[in-house]
Structure 1
Amino acid sequence: MRDMSAPVENIYNLIPKEEIRVPKPPRYTSTFRDSVKVEEQKNKASHKTMGPAKVEVPSPKEYLQKHTHEATLAQKSAFLDSTGRAPRFLAEDRKRPPVPTRTEQPIMGVQTNKSFLKTNVAEAVMAVPKKPLPVYVDTKKGDKHLLETSGLVPKYTKRKDYGSTPEYLAKRNEEVRRAQEEYDEYVRERLRMGAMKQLSEAERENVLEGLRKNWDELHHEYQGLSVVIDTPLKKAHKERLEAEMRQLERDIDVIERHKMIYIANN
Structure 2
Amino acid sequence: MFIIEFNYLEQLSPIKPRIMGTNNLDEWVEKGSLARSRELTHSHRNKLKPLVPRSIERPTMGLQSNRNFIATNKIDAILKSPKQEDEELNWLTKKDYGHIPLYLSQIKDHLQQSYLEEQENVKRQLEAQNDKLQLLSEEELKQIREGLKQRYDEVNKQYQQYTHLKKFDTVGLKRRKEQFEKELIQLEKDMDKLKKPYVFVGK
TM-score range, shorter chain: 0.3 to 0.5
- Specify which structure has the higher proportion of helix: 2
Q: Which structure ranks higher in relative contact order (CA pairs < 8 Å, sequence separation ≥ 6)?
A: 2
**If the length of structure 2 is used for normalisation, what is the TM-score?**
0.36
